[in-house]
A and B are shown apart, each in its own frame.
Chain A
Amino acid sequence: MIQKYANPARFNRLAATLLPWFAWPAAILIFAGLYFALFNSPPDYQQGESVRIMYVHVPSAWMALFVYTCMAISCAVGLIWKHPLAHIAAQAAAPIGACFTFVCLMTGSLWGKPIWGTWWVWDARLTSVLILFFLYLGFLALQNAFDDPARGERSAAILALVGLINVPIIHYSVVWWNTLHQPASVIKMAGPAIHSSMLLPLFLMAIGFKLYFLTLLLLRMKALMMARRARGMSMAQLHHQAAE
């Protein structure tokens, strides 16, 4: 079943069908989410208007972890089953995940200054997310560090799997250790500690971000496959010329 979509033409057809179903809802949800987040949700009893940063920060943080997990699973599929699209998917996802992580770090810093009184501290949560950002960058660098793309893919896939250990550490860092960062508000046993009027924009943004990621992922996968084909064709041409 999965092997069926290893065929580039078939993948392109599937991507073309799916793209509008991801792209339009993503745009609508993010605009609606931003409207509620910025204009139509209450200020917080303690943070005042700064709470609005949360509507970008928290979905970005979820995406940073989600994209990394997807990327690592994709790398494992590429290593174990040698599925031709798996490494392309990981390569396509990495820069998107890195951007989400960057947005998460930046918005967190902007929120930290007025609320905590500092832009940055080296507590377990902040440090482990910074490591996640470096893992994304390392993955991208390693992938391009070899002349043979297949070797780069394999090395980067192993790095991605090693870095997977960081994902549960990030999630539980606020539980296992004393941190300045607060514990989870939404994903917790006792139910969310966020008032429902604030959950609406948060969920709109979270779902919008997820669809936005899928849109970018499909577009980037298509582009990477075309780049590969172009490289293959120019190589073949070179061989042909050399033979003549």
Chain B
Amino acid sequence: MTRKQRRMNFVMLGLATLGTAAALVLTALEDKIVFFYSPTDLVTKTTIPKNQQFRVGGLVKEGTWKKPENGLTHNFTVTDLRHDIAISYKGIIPDIFREGQGVVVLGKVQANGIFRADEVLAKHDEKYMPPEVAAALKKSGKWEGGKARAE
């Protein structure tokens, strides 16, 4: 074996070892790395620290949110289409917040079962299109984003 080959094997072996180690660590830490839990996770996972603040993400359920006439208190439901959770939030919401929109809220579950949020972030999806195209898609019934998904 030439020295070049030996160096090559060393680099390859090192990368393979590191890759395996990284994969194992990241798999083990999965619950810590996720940015938010889905409403279904709240029901099925026992590892969520419910006495601390945590994040819940999902879609704002159709027909559960109305722009408040006065004041800043928003009440709405976040759904992943299997389970729902009721949210109460006092503060300013992002501009693209609407029914059917993906959101991530930070807060705590209260004794009455309602999730009191301290922060509401909008989650943008990967679709980019001009307004006319979005309108045309909605008209022709081929709309897949936001609203259709939440129904």
**Is B49 part of the contact surface with A, judged by Cβ < 8 Å?**
no
How many chain A residues touch B (Cβ–Cβ < 8 Å)?
41
Q: Roughly how many angstroms separate A140 CA and B18 CA in the complex, as a whole number?
A: 22
Does chain A have a CB within 8 A of B11?
yes
Q: Kindly list chain B residues whose C-beta atoms are within 8 Å of the C-beta of A134.
A: none
Main secondary structure of the interface of B (DSSP, over half): mixed
Q: Which of B11, B22, B134 contacts A165 (CB 8 A)?
A: B22
Check B85 for interface membership: any CB of A closer than 8 A. no
Please tell me which one of the listed residues A118, A169, A178 contacts residue B121 in the complex, with CB atoms under 8 A apart: A118
Is B125 located at the chain interface by the 8 A CB criterion?
A: yes
The size bracket of the interface on B is 35 or more
Q: Given B22, B95, B126, which contacts A182 in the complex, CB threshold below 8 Å?
A: B126
B71 within 8 A of A: no
**Is A194 touching B128 in the complex (CB atoms < 8 A)?**
yes
**A182–B124 alpha-carbon span in the complex (Å):** 6
Most B CB contacts (10 A, CB to CB) among A46, A169, A197 go to A46
The 8 Å CB contact of B15, one of A47, A115, A161, A177, is A161
Tell me if A185 counts as interface (CB < 8 A to partner B): yes
The answer to whether residues A80 and B4 also contact, given A43-B130, A116-B94, A180-B35 and a CB cut-off of 8 A, is yes
Q: A42-B131, A81-B4, A194-B129 are in contact. Are A116 and B122 (CB under 8 A)?
A: yes
B142 within 8 A of A: no
Residues of A within 8 A of B35 (CB): 121-124, 177-180
